[in-house]
Structure 1
Amino acid sequence: MERTNTHYGGILMTTIFTLGLMSLLLVFLLGNYRSVSEFSLRTRRFYEMKIMTQLFLADYPKLSEQDQQKGEVHYNVGTISYQRKDTDLFITAFSGKYKQTHTEKLQTNKTDTSTSDTENKSTRLEKEKQE
């Protein structure tokens, strides 16, 4: 029985190809993991800042007139900085290294003297005559 040597390169080429393929796969997996973790961190910070802004807007009318002009509010996940100019309220939320700005239009306290459409015509006419 004779031995034939038809294979050239032996196991070395197969090993190099396998290591290269595994390295490429590892690089893609690490890049994907980093993208996913950065996306989830940004999403979490976005919602933290939105929640802080909504909590601040709920508490804003309770502040004194002097405190309503300008100030800062600290929460456990970040800080809200605000400044009032006329009827606009400029809010900047900070959470970690991220920042989000928001502008809120403040309502003026004017009373509306319109009548309801659910009243019948005779009641509405009587009210107009009395005035």
Structure 2
Amino acid sequence: MLLRSLMENRKKVRGFSNSQGGVLLSVLLAIFLFSFLLLNLTTSYHQTADLVSRTEQLYQAKIAKELFLADYPDLDAKNGTWMFNLGELIYETEQNQVKITVKIKKKTYHFYEKNSTSNSSD
């Protein structure tokens, strides 16, 4: 009888220690998954913010180019610089096209336009 109660106590103790190990493993797994999801969320946010910034600058450059092309027929100079509030636009006339370089912050965009028309083509 005494031996039987000792064996039951050992089984309970072993079962208790095994369940602690199972909980520890589950908690570690949950922490790992949470950390992984948080890292992915942070990375996704930074990539989205960078994409938004680059897209905004591209459209600002395109708008500056179109505004310049509206004034281009009235200009006498074949080469020059055209300043605007976000950066500068440098233009050069080459045979039958105009090379337009727009600099906004640290980015540089190059556009080529036909000299005869004012329709844009990237």
The TM-score normalised by the length of structure 1 is 0.70
**Gapped runs of 5+ residues in structure 1?**
109-131
Q: CA RMSD in A?
A: 2.0
Runs of 4+ in 1 over 2 A off after TM superposition: 2-5, 10-15
What is the rounded CA distance, in whole Å, between the counterparts of 2:82 and 2:115 in structure 1? Answer: 19
Instruction: Give the SS at the match of 1:33.
Output: helix
Within the alignment, does 1:106 sit opposite 2:118 as a pair?
A: no
Question: What is the identity percentage for the equivalent residue pairs of Structure 1 and Structure 2?
Answer: 32
Partner AA of 1:25 in structure 2: L
What is the rounded CA distance, in whole Å, between the counterparts of 1:93 and 1:12 in structure 2? Answer: 58
In structure 2, the CA distance between the partners of 1:10 and 1:103, relative to structure 1 (3 Å rule), is: closer
**Gapped runs of 5+ residues in structure 2?**
1-7, 118-122
What is the rounded CA distance, in whole Å, between the counterparts of 2:113 and 2:30 in structure 1? Answer: 59
The aligned counterpart of 2:86 is 77
What is the rounded CA distance, in whole Å, between the counterparts of 1:37 and 1:26 in structure 2? Answer: 16
Within the alignment, does 1:89 sit opposite 2:98 as a pair?
A: yes
What is the rounded CA distance, in whole Å, between the counterparts of 1:107 and 1:24 in structure 2? Answer: 56
Partner AA of 1:30 in structure 2: T
The aligned counterpart of 2:120 is none
Q: Hey, which of these two has a bigger chunk of helix by percent?
A: 2
What is the rounded CA distance, in whole Å, between the counterparts of 2:116 and 2:32 in structure 1? Answer: 64
Aligned residues: 104
The TM-score normalised by the length of structure 2 is 0.75
Please show how residues 1-131 of structure 1 align to structure 2 within 5 Å. 4-5=12-13, 6-7=15-16, 8=18, 9=21, 11-63=23-75, 65=76, 68-107=77-116
What is the rounded CA distance, in whole Å, between the counterparts of 1:85 and 1:36 in structure 2? Answer: 38
What is the rounded CA distance, in whole Å, between the counterparts of 2:96 and 2:37 in structure 1? Answer: 56
